[in-house]
Amino acid sequence: MSEAREIKLDRMRYTKNTTSSRLALLAIVFDVLFFISIYKSNVSTWYYNILMGASIIYNLVFLLAAFLASESVKNYRAGYSWLMIILGVIQIARIWIYPMTAHAALVNNEPVMGDAQFIRCVIYLVLSAACLFAGAVVNTNKSRALSRHISSLEAGKAA
Amino acid sequence: MAELSLQHIDKIYDNNVQAVFDFNLDVKDGELIVLVGPSGCGKSTTLRMVAGLEDISRGKLLLDGRDITQAPAKDRDMAMVFQNYALYAHMTIYENMAFSLTLRKEDPNVIHKKVLAAAEILGLTTQLNKKPNQLSGGQRQRVAMGRSIVRNPKVFLFDEPLSNLDAKLRGATRREILLLHKRLSATMLYVTHDQTEALTLADRIVCMSMGHVQQVGTPLELYDKPNNLFVASFIGLPPMNFFDVTVEDGRLCGQGFEAPLTAQEQDTLANYLHKTIVLGVRPEDISEGGTLRVQVSTNENLGMNTLVHGHLGEGSRVSAKLRGWASYADGDVLMAKFDRKHFFDKETTNAIRGKGD
């Protein structure tokens, strides 16, 4: 391993994993944009009202969980990569729950969600999920590398 | 290589108050200079002028021959350690130490090497992931020093760095600064009002009062050969005893006491015969077994020494630092002698020196 690579690894002992942390925060931003976008839906039946209500409640859960993941991956906690992946998978799955259902539905011959709004919502959810997946991958790689580096340092000390 | 030269420096504030008068000093490479004096004497102002935090009203400041009088602080290649540490509470120790280099956009790997090297020198390696509020005062001060070390400046400036520490920690950190100076061989300017710090740390001391330099010299010179009454009274703990005395033939006559003069002392005072001068005697230069009657008022045992306070003759207050454990009670008489005397002109307050001094 080159000296520069070795130092870069050693730096991780004292610096935060800001890449993963910022990606998780960016995922929150995209989710908030999605959150704002769904308000424009032409909701006039209880079914879509309930769907939107559930979506809002889940958004709050998502914000908390994603922020928790952001703070944890900052300290290279490998387990939180799984939380980010799960949140990412749910963000993708949500496309089929609210935007897709609402886009296909008509209320009084009016679409619950228009084409432009639908595309915007899907893009925001996909981007949010992509950020979470990327953050999880970066965190997994970095935390493994750091863990190996610390082990080798401890082995060196013991020897 | 860092030689600093302060030439005829004055500091005059906007309200026409002059804080520093004609300050001259040449600091050699690797020298540790301590500016010492009471509060308000202009020592911190002088340091801040050197750092570029205060404008220099008159005079020149040269660093390695280059005039930096008007240079902004960031271009002076000096690092300052403050009394209150000035650490960022939300950053870790590592981030605090790396901060100045990060601002300069240095290579992160180079920053890492420098921070680890500084942490190693200061014994902070295991503290790098902590926040400042998790460290003791001494450790925080070491972090502040580490932040200076990583910059590898030409001159280190310390503004009363130990004032916030308790007595025990102050002693330990003082020794660390001394070791640091030996290890780095860096040019350092250190401001303190504590004469113990000045005497133990300095290669040379600059003693200041009311904005004027009173004496520049090695710690021994200032202790042993003070230039004037101010330096004599400021350096040394407990402070020097002073008595108004008249020079007579072969003796000094004070208020209710007489002290004999040696031939060399008579020679020194030849021009002061029948005149009144100030006699200075350090408490540690008073010993038991002479002809001077000291009426004891208090007795302080310090372990290896005893401080005896009392009155000499008809009222001159005197303090004596006797070796060992002594137990004088209030009203006891201590028969004492002066082992070493300092003489000062009463008018000019300057030291009276003989040919050999």
ipTM score for this prediction: 0.77
pLDDT score for A43 = 65
Q: Which of B198, B117, B119 is nearest to B162 (CA)?
A: B198
Q: If pLDDT is split at 50, 70 and 90, which confidence band does A27 have?
A: very high
Query: How far is the CA of B127 from the CAs of A14, A40, A123, B96, B165, in angstroms?
Result: 10, 52, 45, 12, 19
pLDDT, tens digit (0-9, with 9 covering 90-100), for B29-40 = 999 999 999 999
CA distance A20 to chain B (A): 19
**Does B217 reside within a domain?**
yes
Contact B319, B308 (CB under 8 A): yes
Residues of B in contact with A14 (CB under 8 A): 92, 94-95, 112, 115, 128-129
Residues of A in contact with B109 (CB under 8 A): 4, 7-8, 11
- pLDDT of residue A21 exceeding 70, the answer is yes
What is the CA angle B67-B72-B77, rounded to 5?
70
pLDDT score for A42 = 65
Decide if A5 touches B, using CB distance below 8 A. Answer: no
Q: Do A8 and B109 touch (CB under 8 A)?
A: yes
**Does B264 reside within a domain?**
yes
As a whole number, mean pLDDT of residues B180-198 equals 92
Q: Is residue B194 located within the same domain as residue B82?
A: yes
pLDDT, tens digit (0-9, with 9 covering 90-100), for B61-119 = 999 999 999 999 989 999 999 988 889 999 999 999 999 999 999 999 999 999 999 99
CA distance A18 to chain B (A): 14
Q: Do B108 and A11 touch (CB under 8 A)?
A: yes
Share the mean pLDDT of chain A. 90
Q: If pLDDT is split at 50, 70 and 90, which confidence band does A35 have?
A: confident
Q: Is residue B208 located within the same domain as residue B115?
A: yes
Q: Do A11 and B112 touch (CB under 8 A)?
A: yes
Q: If pLDDT is split at 50, 70 and 90, which confidence band does A100 have?
A: confident
**Does B13 reside within a domain?**
yes
Q: Which chain B residues have any C-beta within 8 angstroms of a chain A C-beta? A: 92, 94-95, 108-109, 112-113, 115, 128-129
CA distance A5 to chain B (A): 9
pTM for the complete prediction? 0.82
- pLDDT of residue B246 exceeding 80, the answer is yes
| Alpha helices by DSSP H, chain B | 43-51, 93-103, 108-122, 137-151, 167-184, 195-201, 219-224, 229-234, 263-268
Q: Which of A103-112, B165-174, B220-229 has the lowest mean pLDDT?
A: A103-112
Share the mean pLDDT of chain B. 93
pLDDT, tens digit (0-9, with 9 covering 90-100), for A119-128 = 999 999 999 9
- pLDDT of residue A46 exceeding 80, the answer is no
**Does B350 reside within a domain?**
no
Chain A interface test: which of B96, B112, B125, B127 (most A C-beta within 10 Å): B112
Question: Which of B202, B234, B266 is the last residue in one of the domains?
Answer: B234
Q: How many domains does chain B have?
A: 2
**Does B356 reside within a domain?**
no
Q: Is residue B222 located within the same domain as residue B259?
A: no
Question: Which of B234, B260, B292 is the last residue in one of the domains?
Answer: B234
As a whole number, mean pLDDT of residues B334-340 equals 93
pLDDT score for A112 = 79
Contact A152, A159 (CB under 8 A): no
**Does B353 reside within a domain?**
no
Neighbours of A85 (CB within 10 A): 18
pLDDT score for A102 = 81
**Does B309 reside within a domain?**
yes
Q: If pLDDT is split at 50, 70 and 90, which confidence band does A14 have?
A: very high
Question: Which of B201, B234, B267 is the last residue in one of the domains?
Answer: B234
Distance (Å, whole) CA B119 – CA B108: 16
Q: Which of B96-100, B155-159, B173-177 has the lowest mean pLDDT?
A: B173-177
Q: If pLDDT is split at 50, 70 and 90, which confidence band does B176 have?
A: confident
Residues of A in contact with B128 (CB under 8 A): 13-14
Helix (H, G, I), strand (E, B) or coil at B289: strand
Q: Is residue B208 located within the same domain as residue B252?
A: no
Q: Do B128 and A14 touch (CB under 8 A)?
A: yes
Q: Which domain holds residue B54?
A: 4-234
Element at B35 (helix H, strand E): strand B32-36
Q: Is residue B90 located within the same domain as residue B133?
A: yes
pLDDT score for B356 = 65
Contact A40, A101 (CB under 8 A): no
Q: Is residue B21 located within the same domain as residue B133?
A: yes
- pLDDT of residue B357 exceeding 70, the answer is no
Q: Is residue B217 located within the same domain as residue B253?
A: no
Q: Is residue B304 located within the same domain as residue B230?
A: no
Q: If pLDDT is split at 50, 70 and 90, which confidence band does B1 have?
A: low
Of chain A, the percentage scoring pLDDT greater than 90 comes to 64
pLDDT, tens digit (0-9, with 9 covering 90-100), for B107-152 = 999 999 999 999 998 889 999 999 999 999 889 989 999 999 999 8
pLDDT, tens digit (0-9, with 9 covering 90-100), for B267-318 = 999 999 999 999 999 999 999 988 899 999 999 999 999 999 999 876 789 9
Q: Is residue B179 located within the same domain as residue B250?
A: no
pLDDT score for B40 = 92
Q: Is residue B49 located within the same domain as residue B137?
A: yes
**Does B351 reside within a domain?**
no
Q: Is residue B228 located within the same domain as residue B290?
A: no
**Ramachandran angles phi, psi of B193, nearest 5°:** -105, 0
CATH number of the CATH domain containing B207:
3.40.50.300
As a whole number, mean pLDDT of residues B189-216 equals 95
Q: Is residue B8 located within the same domain as residue B121?
A: yes
- pLDDT of residue A41 exceeding 80, the answer is no
- pLDDT of residue B249 exceeding 70, the answer is yes
Q: Which of B302, B301, B298 is nearest to B334 (CA)?
A: B298
CA distance B150 to chain A (A): 16
pLDDT, tens digit (0-9, with 9 covering 90-100), for B309-335 = 999 876 789 999 999 998 899 989 999
pLDDT score for A1 = 65
Residues of A numbered 7-46 whose beta carbons fall under 8 angstroms of chain B's beta carbons: which are they?
7-8, 10-11, 13-15
